[in-house]
Amino acid sequence: MVAVLCICRDASAQGAGIKGVVQDADGRPLEGVWLEARKAGSGVFDSMTYDGQPVAHTRSLSDGAYLLDGLDAGVWLFTVVRGGAQTDSEMVALVRELVHGEAIPSVPMARILRRYVAGKTVAHEVNIVLGSGGSPLRCRLRGSELKPEGFGYQVSILLAKPSHSPPGSGVATFSSTSDNPMLNPFYYYAVPDADGNVDFGGVSVDEYASITVDAFSRDPEQPSVVGRIYDGAVRDLRVADNTYELPVRRHGIVHLAVNAANVNERARVLYSIWAEDGSEASRYGEGGGGGVALVLNDGVYAVRAKLGDLASRVNPMIVDQEAGSTSLSLAMEPCTPYSMRFVDQDGKPLYHYSIRLGVGEAPGVVAPIGPTLFCENGEVRVEGLLPGEYVAQFRYDVRPTFVQSLRLGSDEVTKVVVPPDH
């Protein structure tokens, strides 16, 4: 007999762990799926983690729901396997066989890596899709920039289903594998090994699938520090030797803070970070106007802090691990919302343009990096942006974009913008 500690499922979570629903690729709940938890000694998948017995395990219920909790602080590797009606000891042996041998197409598996902080007993909501056949899906994190001694890594795939409106409308919408994709999406999960190899097993993906790589700090002195180091569509990935290659850049921890007096101890500053590719990330700082730390790739960013009617200027920031750690302190100023009117040189309201703002030029960066304003029939509402000079990229439908200097301010009631094709 193999002695295994079993954490029984209760109505609510007791201690740190994961909870959620397991389903197959067609959205059907899976009953009897095996889930186990082991303490991870690295930020990547290591077969040595499976040499002992799991600390805890459970199985999903008839509706696919599961709860695996009661875990203490540290980095935990969760393994999810659909192995049929086998005993607990047989499932432990099957998991070990899958880890040390070749994948079995008829036995779908997922791996999830999470870190829990001492004193925080939270069961993370993790909804899981297990593959059911299909060709083995393998990826490789390319660039040799993984740092498992300092970070843990999680790779996830989200499948989106296109739903086209009636012919001639020119509109397409997408839904994920969840009834409420904004709150509880379902993902395929895997953890890379030390060489960056990722095996999702038998998973079928199409051109609409997206793939992400998240990194979190393993440093006990910097808990809850996380960031997305890759986010893209599967169709855009290079394929070599039947393996999708994910370009991973060098990354590290960035610290942001504000200079603000007399801030309520419960007030939390919202930090917004814009990247070169146009993506945006937002993080709340600690109470009392405290700062925030997050994982970012090397590159050029724009950063702003906002708290009520206070805001910092949009500041450029260069992250370069070779140059050392990155820290930025933002000065807060009163920032009252205001409206402006944009017209062309004939005085006609500018149509439905999106206007991406930047605060300067950076080597190798084509478009401005910063927040986006929206112009609706000439009307633009400006919030959280201090008056001043900006570089603005104007975009409307399929027309070519154009860049102009733009001064914002409540005293600038009407702005004349001249599109290049005017």
Percent with pLDDT over 90 in the chain: 53
Looking at per-residue pLDDT, the higher value among 87 and 289 belongs to 87
Is a pLDDT exceeding 70 seen at residue 350? yes
Looking at per-residue pLDDT, the higher value among 184 and 340 belongs to 340
| Mean pLDDT, residues 407-414 | 84
Distance from the Cα of residue 113 to its chain's centroid = 14
Is a pLDDT exceeding 60 seen at residue 13? no
Mean pLDDT of the chain: 84
pLDDT value for 295: 95
- Residues 209-228: pLDDT tens digits? 999 999 999 988 887 899 99
HSE of 404, CA atoms in CB hemisphere, 13 A: 15
Q: What would the two tokens of residue 87 be?
A: 């005993």
- Residues 113-171: pLDDT tens digits? 998 887 776 788 999 999 866 677 889 998 767 899 999 999 999 986 543 333 333 33
Gap between the Cα atoms of 184 and 3, Å rounded: 34
- Residues 262-281: pLDDT tens digits? 677 778 999 999 998 888 99
Is a pLDDT exceeding 50 seen at residue 182? no
| Mean pLDDT, residues 37-45 | 93
Report the b/e string of 148-159 with b at 16+ CB within 10 A: bebbbbbbbbbb
Is a pLDDT exceeding 70 seen at residue 16? yes
- Residue from 224, 112, 107 nearest 157 by CA: 112
Which distant-in-sequence residues (6+ apart) come within 8 Å of 197 by Cβ?
Answer: 138, 139, 140, 141, 243
Instruction: Report the range of poorest mean pLDDT among 120-124, 236-240, 366-370, 387-391.
Output: 120-124
Q: In Å, how far are 56, 378, 385 from 343, measured between CA atoms?
A: 64, 6, 20
Is a pLDDT exceeding 80 seen at residue 38? yes
Gap between the Cα atoms of 292 and 138, Å rounded: 35
Domains of the chain: 16-248 (2.60.40.1120), 252-334 (2.60.40.1120), 338-416 (2.60.40.10)
Is a pLDDT exceeding 60 seen at residue 337? yes
Gap between the Cα atoms of 126 and 187, Å rounded: 8
Is a pLDDT exceeding 80 seen at residue 311? yes
